[in-house]
Structures are given as structure tokens and as C-alpha cells.
């Protein structure tokens, strides 16, 4: 296996330094090596549609007993002044959230608040004084709750209630930190929660997905729309050939090289992008996934969606492989959480190097988001059948990545972290093969949820786990860590 080293470089600097260009020739063939004869092609107008989401409505609840009681934080504490200070900081730090401020001083007041807050997306429970009894009621409201310990003020009640919340698997994330940014990060989790509830996934398959779509809706609030291969074929037939050719030329000229695909393969990829982009726009979908392998192998479609997904993910949208609804939900959640595209893969474990290799034929080359730096890519055939066009992305190395998968049926999540070390060149299996250093042996032994994982650049492990708790995951497995060993059991 050959090791390919890459660094974070922008598309513009890459083109200047390499003169990378692969031109579509009049005879229908392709130049298969970079050539300085062509400059960078202008990027056609993006057809990727991004539908905005509404701001979350969050009840900002300050919990404490009335001033005058000798307890933490102190007997004559000015709770109103502290609440006003925190309210101002939150408004400044989280303008993407609509806060509705409330005060509760007892269990009875908390119960009344829960009844009147049915339409709220959740609670930011700021415990600025102890022993009101209100936190226990709000935590059991059934809605997601971010509970914050205003240190040395709410600590006793927060510690007790957080322990109970964990044991009861309540939808709660607790912050106990002197760094206000930790509060902001937790509160901002309401944004992906709300965005998921308003999202639509277009699933292009020819088999029944009724039960799977129902599970996704019930758990995440995401609507799944089914579209068959015949309807997709009608979109494909209507795709503008000239615009499709412009995309084919753009992809080819900006690639490091084109290896196997023909000009016709790239033209068909351009048509598939236009077809999927139009379908997404018409259906008002936030994500598209399709049974690409089954449909292409059977001849129901004449192009793989690899370059289409590549473009959509680069532009801030979400294109996912193989009609995989779990990975689609995971990648959509990652996008809302981080603003970055996920990378779906079939991982390979190499215990000799303690590496996990994320392998697939679809990959972004803007791993830091649509406005971030880009990395080189090569256009290849699809690996399994050596047909069509796919992407080999040479992703940045030396970077932390977070990989996870959600199962919407069982309400479970798996997650692990790593550091990127290689872009592997190997004839077998999928084209993009990104290797990351991690606890590979432990992941191998803990593996237990399908094959796909979704990888995002950055250390988002805690945020992703916290999002899972607010969603109501019944189990979150950190698959690169040993299971907790119970040494003593109390009876």
C-alpha cells in the first residue's frame, strides 16, 4: 500500500501550485494527468438547496428558593440580579435561540410551568439556588433539558438530580463549569434538535420503508419521503445536457487527475447531480440518499450519485450513500451540530498499526465546511464494479476526527475518535481510504452496529454524546474505550 500525504490547502492554492487540470477533449476522451494547459474552470452555479430552519424556543428557567433562608449561595442573595446577568450573557452568546424566561421556587410552580410549556423545544434550567425541588420536576417533563449548576449556588441539588437523571436515562445534559463557553456549547444543542424536527430526508429506493420511516419520525421528528427509481429516471431525462457538461468539466479540471471514467461517465454524473438537486428542491428535502448499488447494478439508473453527493456535501447540503437512513440521520445531525459534512464509510480495522481505515467511494473534499479549506481529489471508477465515476478524496492528515452512528430503531449510538495519519492507495475495496490512529483493538472488540460509520473532522465527541442524551438515546457506546468493569457489587 502506498501512503499519500496531503495537507490543508485551498482549491485556489492547489490549482496555482500544481496547475491541476484535466480537460474534456473534443473526441470524447480525457487527459488522465494534470496539465498546465488549462486553468481552473469556473464553478457552475450551485444547485444544492439549503432550507433554513426556525430558531428553537427554549424556556430559560431560574430555580431557587426565596431569599432570606440560610443556605447556599447565602441567606440574602440577590437572585434577580444574578438571573438578569445570566440572561444578558445568554442573549449575547446565543442569538440563534429564542429564550422565554421563567422563575420557579417550588415543585408546584415547576409542575405548572411544565403544563404551560408544551410547545417549547426544551428547557435551559439554571439552578441559582438549592432545595426548591423544581429541578426534579422539570427533568422529568419528557423534554430535553440542559441543567446548569451556578457554582456554589445550585451545586447540591444539581449533583443529586444529575445522578438520578443518569440512572433514569432522562433527556438531560448537565454543565458544572466556570467556563461560560461550556454552557453556550450545551445550549446550542437545541439548534440541531429543532433542525432535525423540521427536516426531510428524500430516500430513493424501490422497496418498502414504511416501518423505518415511522421509527425515524417518532425518534427524531425527521420526515422520510420515498421516491422510486422511475421518478428519478424522469428527473435524469430532463437534466440540461449543457449544464451537466459544465459540471463534468469543472469536476475534471479541478481534480488532481481522472483515472478510469470516460467523458460520458462524467456527463452522466453531471446529469445525476442536476436530477437529484432538482428532486431535493421539489420535495423540500434537507438530505438525499438512494439505493445506488442496487439501482446501478440492475440498470434502473445509468449513473452513480458519487459526484452528486460530493458536490452537495461540499456546498453545505447532505448526500448519503446506499439508501442508509441511519447514516442519513447521523450525517444530518452532524451537519446541524458542526456545520461540517460527514463522511460515510465502511471501516477496516488494522490492529498492527492501531488504525481504522474509513473506506468509501463518496467523500467530500471540504471537510472543514463549505467555506473551509479544500483538499485534492482524484476521479475514479466505482470500486466494486469498476464502472461509472466516484471520488478518491485525499483528506487532511494530523487532524482529530470523530466517528459515530445512530440507530433510530433501537435508539442507540456508537462513537469513537482518532487522528488522521494516511490516505491509503490500495486497489482493493472503495476508493477513498482515510486511516486514523485510534484504539483499533478495542473498536474491533466493541463493534456491534452495522458496518457504516459517519466521520467528521474535529473533536466533537462530547457534543455528539450530549446531543444523543438530549435526543433520548437509551445507550451510547464509546467503542474505543474498555467497558466499565464492576469490581464490587453491593447487595
* Whole-angstrom Cα Rg for the chain: 25
Length of the chain: 491
Q: Across the strands, what pairs with 46?
A: none
- The pLDDT value recorded for residue 40 is 53
Angstrom distance (rounded) from CA 14 to CA 339: 23
- The pLDDT value recorded for residue 294 is 87
Helix (H, G, I), strand (E, B) or coil at 236: helix
Instruction: Give me the tens of pLDDT residue by residue for the chain, a chain 491 residues long.
Output: 444 443 333 333 333 333 333 333 333 445 454 343 334 578 899 999 999 999 999 999 999 999 999 999 999 999 999 999 999 999 999 999 999 999 999 999 999 999 999 999 999 999 999 999 999 999 999 999 999 999 999 999 999 999 999 999 999 999 999 999 999 999 999 999 999 999 999 999 999 999 999 999 999 999 999 999 999 999 999 999 999 999 999 999 999 999 999 999 999 999 999 999 999 999 999 999 999 888 889 999 889 999 999 999 999 999 999 889 999 999 999 999 999 999 999 999 999 999 999 999 999 999 999 999 999 999 999 988 999 999 999 999 999 999 999 999 999 999 999 999 999 999 999 999 999 999 999 999 999 899 999 999 999 999 999 999 999 999 999 999 997 544 444 44
Nearest to 379 by CA among 270, 223, 229, 227: 270
- The pLDDT value recorded for residue 434 is 98
Phi, psi of 445 (to 5 degrees): -75, -30
Domains and their CATH numbers in the chain: 2-51+198-478 (no CATH), 57-194 (3.40.50)
Interior/surface letters 42-58, b for 16+ CB within 10 angstroms, e for the rest:
eebeebbbeeebeebbb
Amino acid at each position: 500500500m502506498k501512503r499519500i500525504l496531503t495537507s490543508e490547502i485551498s482549491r485556489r492554492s492547489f490549482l496555482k501550485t500544481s496547475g491541476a487540470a484535466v480537460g474534456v477533449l473534443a473526441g470524447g476522451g480525457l487527459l488522465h494527468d494534470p496539465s498546465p494547459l488549462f486553468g481552473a474552470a469556473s464553478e457552475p452555479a450551485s444547485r444544492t438547496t439549503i432550507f433554513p430552519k426556525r430558531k428553537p424556543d427554549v424556556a430559560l428557567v431560574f430555580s431557587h428558593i426565596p431569599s432570606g433562608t440560610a443556605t447556599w449561595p447565602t441567606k440574602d442573595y440577590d437572585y434577580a440580579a444574578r438571573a438578569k446577568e445570566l440572561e444578558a450573557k445568554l442573549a449575547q452568546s446565543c442569538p440563534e435561540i429564542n429564550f422565554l424566561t421563567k422563575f420557579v421556587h417550588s415543585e408546584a410552580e415547576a409542575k405548572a410551568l411544565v403544563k404551560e410549556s408544551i410547545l417549547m423545544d426544551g428547557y435551559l434550567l439554571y439552578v441559582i439556588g438549592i432545595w426548591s425541588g423544581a429541578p426534579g420536576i422539570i427533568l422529568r417533563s419528557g423534554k430535553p433539558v440542559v441543567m446548569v449548576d451556578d457554582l456554589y449556588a445550585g451545586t447540591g441539588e444539581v449533583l443529586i438530580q444529575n445522578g438520578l437523571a443518569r440512572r433514569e436515562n432522562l433527556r438531560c445534559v448537565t454543565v458544572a463549569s466556570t467556563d461560560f463557553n461550556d454552557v453556550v456549547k450545551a445550549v446550542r444543542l437545541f439548534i440541531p434538535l429543532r433542525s432535525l424536527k423540521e427536516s426531510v430526508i428524500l430516500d430513493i429506493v424501490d422497496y418498502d420503508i414504511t416501518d423505518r420511516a415511522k421509527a425515524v419520525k417518532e425518534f427524531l421528528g425527521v420526515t422520510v419521503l420515498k421516491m422510486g427509481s422511475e421518478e428519478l429516471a424522469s428527473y435524469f431525462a430532463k437534466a440540461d445536457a449543457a449544464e451537466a457538461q459544465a459540471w463534468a468539466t469543472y469536476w475534471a479540471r479541478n481534480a488532481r487527475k481522472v483515472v478510469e471514467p470516460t467523458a460520458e461517465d462524467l456527463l452522466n454524473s453531471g446529469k445525476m447531480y442536476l436530477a437529484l438537486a432538482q428532486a431535493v428542491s421539489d420535495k423540500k428535502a434537507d438530505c438525499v440518499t438512494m439505493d445506488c448499488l442496487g439501482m446501478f447494478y440492475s440498470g434502473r439508473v445509468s449513473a452513480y450519485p458519487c459526484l452528486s453527493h460530493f458536490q452537495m456535501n461540499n456546498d453545505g447540503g447532505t448526500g448519503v450513500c446506499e439508501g442508509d437512513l441511519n447514516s442519513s440521520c447521523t450525517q444530518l445531525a452532524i451537519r446541524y451540530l458542526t456545520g461540517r459534512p460527514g463522511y460515510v464509510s465502511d471501516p477496516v480495522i488494522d490492529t498492527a498499526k492501531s488504525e481504522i481505515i474509513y473506506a468509501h467511494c463518496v467523500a467530500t473534499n471540504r471537510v472543514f465546511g463549505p467555506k473551509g479549506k479544500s483538499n485534492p481529489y482524484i476521479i475514479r471508477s466505482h470500486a466494486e464494479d469498476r464502472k461509472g465515476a466516484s471520488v478518491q478524496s485525499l483528506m487532511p492528515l494530523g487532524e482529530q476526527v470523530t466517528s459515530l452512528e445512530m440507530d433510530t430503531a433501537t435508539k442507540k449510538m456508537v462513537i469513537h475518535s482518532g487522528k488522521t495519519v494516511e490516505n491509503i492507495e490500495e486497489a482493493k475495496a472503495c476508493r477513498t481510504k482515510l486511516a486514523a490512529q485510534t484504539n483499533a483493538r478495542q473498536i474491533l472488540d466493541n463493534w456491534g452496529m452495522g458496518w457504516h460509520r459517519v466521520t467528521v473532522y474535529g473533536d466533537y465527541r462530547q457534543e455528539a454524546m450530549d446531543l444523543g442524551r438530549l435526543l433520548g438515546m437509551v445507550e451510547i457506546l464509546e467503542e474505543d474505550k474498555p467497558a466499565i468493569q464492576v469490581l464490587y457489587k453491593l447487595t
